[in-house]
Structure 1
Amino acid sequence: MQTQEMALLAHDALLLPGGRVEIRVIAPRCLNMIAETLKGHYPLVFGMSKANSNPPCYETATQCEVIDFNQLDDDSLGIILEGKQRVKILSAAERRDGTWICRVLPSNNWQQEPIYGEFELISAALQQFYEVNPELFGLYENDIHLEDASWVSQRWLEVLPLYNQDKLRLLNQPNCHKTMNFVLELIKSHARDNPHS
Structure 2
Amino acid sequence: MSTATIPLFPLQSVLFPGGYLPLRIFEPRYLDMIARQHKAAQPFGVVSLIEGGELRRRDEASGDGAGFVRERFQDIGTLAHIDWLESQGPGLLQIRCHGGQRFRLLRSECLPHGLWMGEIELLPDDVAVAVPADLAPAAVLLQTLLHNLEQGAAAVDLPFQPPYQWQDSGWLSNRWSEMLPLADAERQRLMQLDNPLLRLELVADQLDRLGLPPQGR
The answer as to 2:149 corresponding to 1:133 is: yes
**Counterparts in 2 of 1:187 and 1:2: CA distance versus 1, 3 Å:** closer
- Alpha-carbon distance between aligned partners in 2 of 1:118 and 1:93, rounded to the nearest angstrom: 46
**1:58 corresponds to:** 74
Match of 2:137 among 121, 126, 136: 121
SS at match of 2:188: helix
2:146 is matched by which residue type in structure 1? Y
Q: Which has the higher helix share?
A: 1
- Alpha-carbon distance between aligned partners in 2 of 1:170 and 1:90, rounded to the nearest angstrom: 20
Preserved CA contact (<8 Å) 1:8 1:47? yes
- Alpha-carbon distance between aligned partners in 1 of 2:174 and 2:187, rounded to the nearest angstrom: 10
TM-score by length of 1: 0.84
- Alpha-carbon distance between aligned partners in 1 of 2:198 and 2:17, rounded to the nearest angstrom: 17
2:138 is matched by which residue type in structure 1? I
**Counterparts in 2 of 1:56 and 1:129: CA distance versus 1, 3 Å:** farther
Q: Write the mapping of 1:169-180 to structure 2, written as runs, cut at 5 A.
A: 169-180=189-200
**1:146 corresponds to:** 166
**2:32 corresponds to:** 32
RMSD of Structure 2 on Structure 1 (CA): 2.7
Question: Structure 1, unaligned stretches of length 5 or more?
Answer: none
1:23 is matched by which residue type in structure 2? L
SS at match of 2:74: strand
**1:158 corresponds to:** 178
Match of 2:102 among 86, 90, 100: 86
Larger radius of gyration: 2
Deviates further, 170-179 or 15-24: 170-179
Per-residue deviation, residues 17-61 of structure 1 (Å, max 9, x unmatched)? 222211111112211110121233964111112214976321110
**1:19 corresponds to:** 19
The answer as to 2:119 corresponding to 1:110 is: no
**Counterparts in 2 of 1:89 and 1:131: CA distance versus 1, 3 Å:** same
Q: CA deviation at 1:116?
A: 2.8
Q: CA deviation at 1:74?
A: 11
Preserved CA contact (<8 Å) 2:42 2:81? no
Question: Structure 2, unaligned stretches of length 5 or more?
Answer: 53-68, 151-156
- Alpha-carbon distance between aligned partners in 2 of 1:73 and 1:36, rounded to the nearest angstrom: 17
Q: CA deviation at 1:160?
A: 2.2
Deviates further, 3-12 or 117-126: 117-126
Q: Write the mapping of 1:59-74 to structure 2, written as runs, cut at 5 A.
A: 59-71=75-87
Preserved CA contact (<8 Å) 1:112 1:151? no
Preserved CA contact (<8 Å) 1:8 1:44? yes
Q: CA deviation at 1:131?
A: 2.9
Question: How many corresponding residue pairs?
Answer: 191
TM-score by length of 2: 0.77
2:113 is matched by which residue type in structure 1? D
**1:77 corresponds to:** 93
